[in-house]
Amino acid sequence: MTAAPLSGAPARNHIAVAGLAKRYPGPRGLVTALDDVTFVVPEGSFCALIGPSGCGKTTLLHILAGLIEPTSGTVTMPHPEPGRLVTAVVFQGISTFPWLTVLQNVAYGLRMIGVPLDERRVRAAHHVRRVGLWAFRDAFPHQLSEGMRQRVSIARAFATDPAILLMDEPFASLDEQTRLLLQDELLRLWQDTRKTVLFVTHSLDEAVRLADRVLVMTASPGRIKTDVPVPLARPRGYREIRRDAAYGLLTARLWDELEAEVVGAWA
């Protein structure tokens, strides 16, 4: 992996992936999870990533987050800055620390990157308020609903002021009503901050509602099959977007691109 900015591209807050491959040892030899993955996410954009189960979406996010190394290829990211992460990750399911309060959970990442105590208290409090959990700031995760815990995870990610936000199906386990409300919350935060976001989802509806563009991956080994722009106006309210004929056409197009891959993954 490399952290040098690309020539002629924005120097900050973007992702450039070129020829990325990841292979694992398996019982019958090497298993190729990703093969020749190439794409760019411009600064400040919201990009969704969809594909059949097992195509390597989570593996790709883990590589971008620096949690695992690729077998080959390059990833270009912004340079790290003091007191700021290059990437922050919001995972699927519960990722809060059960022994920490809401405020302590949100401050955790700030502590890990060496932000002074007084500053991290202020920054954590600000982001707890932004996700509407100030009244629960001293509560522990077991005292919260699953949707509230995911709001804590989102606040923790934004609190570290990352250049890039990586989200791995963060709303997949939530009920539909909570999911829609958290989509609204995420869009509000993103529109305020214009973080560069790469958002993995299985939901075609979620991809179209949230993203500027949608990358569709092939069945394993994962490659980028197509890049679909989402030219819908913002803001995108739940009711308004479903009245737009372009919404139906976009979701249908995504399914056209994805259907053969999903069927192939089952074969």
Range of the domain at 236: 1-78+179-261
Find the DSSP H helices in the chain.
Answer: 57-64, 102-112, 117-130, 146-159, 176-193, 204-210, 238-243, 245-266
pTM for this model (two decimals)? 0.90
Co-location of 191 and 254 in the same domain: yes
pLDDT for 35 equals 96
CA gap 198, 207 in Å, rounded: 11
Closest by CA position to 70, among listed 79, 82, 61, 81: 61
Residue 22 has φ and ψ, to the nearest 5°, of -140, 125
In-domain check, residue 170:
no
What integer is the mean pLDDT of 72-88? 86
Q: In 3-state terms, what secondary structure has residue 95?
A: coil
N- to C-terminal Cα separation, the chain: 34
In-domain check, residue 167:
no
The sign of the dihedral angle between the CA atoms of 153, 231, 204, 65 is negative
- Residues 89-121 have pLDDT tens digits of 998 877 899 999 999 999 999 998 889 999 999
pLDDT for 7 equals 38
- CATH at 95: 3.40.50.300
Residue 76 pLDDT more than 70?
Answer: yes
**Residue 56 Ramachandran class (φ > 0 left, ψ -120 to 50 alpha, else beta):** left
Return the structure tokens found at 71. Answer: 């077998």
User: Could you tell me which residues are beta bridge partners of residue 168?
Assistant: 200
Co-location of 210 and 158 in the same domain: no
What integer is the mean pLDDT of 118-134? 94
Co-location of 24 and 55 in the same domain: yes
In-domain check, residue 117:
yes
What integer is the mean pLDDT of 49-54? 93
Residue 68 pLDDT more than 90?
Answer: yes
Place of tokens 């790709």: 60
Closest by CA position to 31, among listed 67, 77, 71, 4: 71
The whole-chain average pLDDT of the chain stands at 89
Strand-by-strand arrangement of the 72-76 sheet: 29-41, 15-26, 72-76
What integer is the mean pLDDT of 159-185? 91
In-domain check, residue 221:
yes
DSSP summary character for residue 114: T
Q: Give percent above pLDDT 90 in the chain.
A: 68
What integer is the mean pLDDT of 243-254? 93
CA gap 169, 162 in Å, rounded: 19
pLDDT for 119 equals 94
Residue 79 pLDDT more than 90?
Answer: no
Contact 137, 125 (CB under 8 A): yes
In-domain check, residue 102:
yes
pLDDT for 267 equals 64
pLDDT for 74 equals 95
Return the structure tokens found at 2. Answer: 């490399």
pLDDT for 173 equals 83
Residue 10 pLDDT more than 60?
Answer: no
What integer is the mean pLDDT of 64-78? 94
pLDDT for 1 equals 39
Closest by CA position to 215, among listed 231, 230, 232, 234: 230
